[in-house]
Amino acid sequence: MRRKLIAALIITASLASPAGAFVSREGQVVVSDGPDTFTVPFRGRSAATDFWCAAGRFSSDRLRLPANQVIYRTSEPPRGSGQGISFSLRPEDQASRTGVAVFGGRASGGGMSVGSAVALCDHRSFNMRGR
């Protein structure tokens, strides 16, 4: 039953997404803006970790980047109401910070590794089960 629900959500998100957009396993949409830039558009109530999760999945699954590759948030936090978050693979484009609290690690301006971003997906799934 759960698999059918997840499949239905992904199909629904795909139909409501721009052509060629990537849809993460969690249902977040990612739109490529160029060869090394992409945007996660606003799709309802979302925390910064949801956007980073989608950026991580896109970077890993679509772009096939290694876990230690750094991706950079380019839109300066905080995200405005109804706005998405833009990302880049170029460090010179990075915002001043990620918009995500980092505990026990060293903050790297607006960048985060693909592996760290994907790890936020596990946290998101945990939060969804706890509701």
Q: What percent of the chain has pLDDT over 90?
A: 60
Is 111:70 a contact under the CB 8 Å cutoff? yes
User: Whole-angstrom Cα distance, residue 60 to residue 81?
Assistant: 28
- Contact indicator for 22, 61 with CB cutoff of 8 Å: yes
Question: What average pLDDT is seen over the chain?
Answer: 82
pLDDT at 66 over 50: yes
| φ, ψ of residue 30 in degrees (nearest 5) | -130, 130
> 90 near 60, Cβ under 8 Å?
no
Which pTM does this prediction carry? 0.78
Provide the pLDDT confidence category of residue 61 given band limits of 50, 70 and 90: very high
Determine the pLDDT at residue 112. Answer: 94
Tell me the per-residue pLDDT of 78-129, one tens digit each, with 9 for 90 and over.
Answer: 888 889 999 999 999 999 999 998 676 555 689 999 999 999 998 654 444 4
